[in-house]
């Protein structure tokens, strides 16, 4: 490896002889440690601005395109082969408790025969320190691919955790519909937020599925000589398990999108039913009120009629109104209009 000009790798480890021999090295010392021992493996955790501002990315053997991709916030997740390195672009996800939105942060993984580098978003720098340190022992048995598997497994578990929370939120909305009530404005906004979050998750999970599928099929695959060397056959089941978890996350995404679509349709149907019930009640009461209006209008005409000007006429008109109103009420009640 070419000498690294970075003044200091604050999160760096040299693993040799089954243990961590050096940590938190300066750039040149890191390169010297790897160069002096062919069995040594270097592990580095870098913040993106640190890596690209100080030029460490070029020193690690990356070309300009790889550097540009690792520094971009909008690159789609994928796996590229650059020289002797496998470069994986993906994202970590978290659910913001306050807003309910999914927060996505870029993550770059560099894998070589003697190097594992993690390039994190500046705000997340240090988030994987404990994971990298505690899993360094896997380097003795599985090489750099063992540590890569630990990182990917952790990232994919994060996808599942976020999707589980989104699933619980969707279930809570569904429970409200079981109360035979359409979604109110707040619930409609929550459903829209969930749909937006699921769309954002799809942009992360689907590319990761492509990456894990390539890693799973790497051994013995034509055109993947580098991956074939980096990933031993004994780890294929481990990477296949990660790929299965990603596939499961994709299935959850599809299911939840269908659930939210059903929630919208069901809510609209309930709103239509509720509107129809309101209209039927209004129509029924309008018909009931029209009867006394009709009778009093008839009785109020300035022309003689049976009972006109006598007490019996008032009694007859009131009796007719009462019978008509009660009859209409009973009819509408029986037809479930009231």
Domains parsed from the chain with CATH numbers: 11-270 (3.30.460.20), 271-334 (no CATH)
Per-residue pLDDT tens over the stretch 155-196:
999 999 999 998 888 888 877 776 667 777 787 788 888 888
Orientation angle between helical segments 236-299 and 185-216, nearest 10 degrees: 160
Distance CA 315, CA 293 (A): 16
**Residue in the structure block whose two tokens are 């021992």:** 37
Give the number of other CB atoms < 10 A from CB of residue 71.
17
Coil, strand, or helix at residue 107? strand
Which pLDDT tens digits describe the chain residue by residue (338 residues)?
444 344 456 788 888 878 888 887 766 666 677 777 778 888 888 888 766 654 555 566 677 777 777 777 778 889 988 888 889 999 999 988 878 788 999 999 989 888 888 988 888 888 898 998 888 888 888 889 999 999 999 999 999 999 999 888 888 887 777 666 777 778 778 888 888 888 889 999 999 999 998 888 764 455 457 788 888 888 888 999 999 999 999 998 888 888 877 777 777 767 777 777 778 788 888 888 887 777 777 666 666 667 666 777 778 778 887 888 888 888 877 777 66
Q: What pLDDT, on the 0 to 100 scale, is given for residue 163?
A: 92
- Calculate the CA 146 to chain-centre distance: 27
Share in percent of the chain as helix, strand, coil (round to 5)? 60, 15, 25
What count of residues does the chain have?
338
Q: What pLDDT, on the 0 to 100 scale, is given for residue 161?
A: 92
Edge-to-edge order in the sheet of strand 115-120:
19-23, 11-16, 41-47, 115-120, 102-112, 85-95, 78-82
């Amino acid at each position: 490896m070419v000498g690294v000009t970075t003044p200091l790798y604050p999160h760096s480890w040299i693993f040799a002889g089954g243990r961590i021999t050096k940590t938190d090295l300066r750039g040149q010392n890191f390169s010297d440690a790897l160069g002096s021992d062919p069995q040594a493996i270097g592990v580095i955790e870098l913040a993106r601005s640190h890596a690209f501002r100080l030029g460490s990315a070029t020193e690690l053997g990356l070309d300009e395109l790889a550097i540009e991709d690792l520094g971009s916030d909008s690159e789609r997740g994928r796996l590229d082969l650059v020289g002797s390195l496998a470069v994986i672009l993906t994202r970590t996800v978290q659910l913001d408790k306050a807003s309910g939105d999914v927060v996505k942060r870029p993550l770059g993984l560099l894998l070589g025969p003697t190097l594992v580098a993690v390039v994190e978003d500046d705000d997340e720098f240090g988030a994987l320190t404990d994971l990298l340190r505690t899993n360094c022992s896997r380097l003795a048995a599985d090489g750099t691919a063992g540590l890569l598997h630990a990182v990917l497994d952790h990232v994919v578990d994060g996808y599942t955790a976020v999707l589980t929370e989104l699933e619980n939120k969707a279930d809570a909305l569904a429970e409200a519909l079981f109360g035979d009530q359409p979604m109110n404005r707040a619930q409609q906004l929550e459903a829209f937020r969930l749909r937006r979050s699921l769309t954002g998750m799809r942009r992360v999970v689907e590319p990761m599925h492509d990456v894990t599928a390539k890693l799973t099929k790497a051994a013995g695959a034509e055109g993947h000589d580098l991956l074939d060397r980096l990933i031993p056959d004994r780890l294929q089941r481990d990477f296949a398990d990660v790929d299965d978890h990603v596939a499961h996350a994709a299935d959850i995404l599809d299911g939840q999108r269908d659930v939210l679509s059903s929630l919208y349709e069901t809510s609209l149907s309930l709103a239509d039913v509720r509107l129809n019930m309101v209209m039927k009640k209004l129509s029924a009461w309008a018909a009931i009120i029209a009867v006394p209006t009709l009778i009093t209008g008839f009785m109020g005409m300035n022309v003689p009629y049976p009972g006109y000007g006598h007490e019996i006429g008032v009694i007859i008109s009131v009796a007719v109104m009462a019978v008509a109103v009660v009859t209409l009420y009973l009819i509408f009640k029986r037809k479930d209009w009231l």
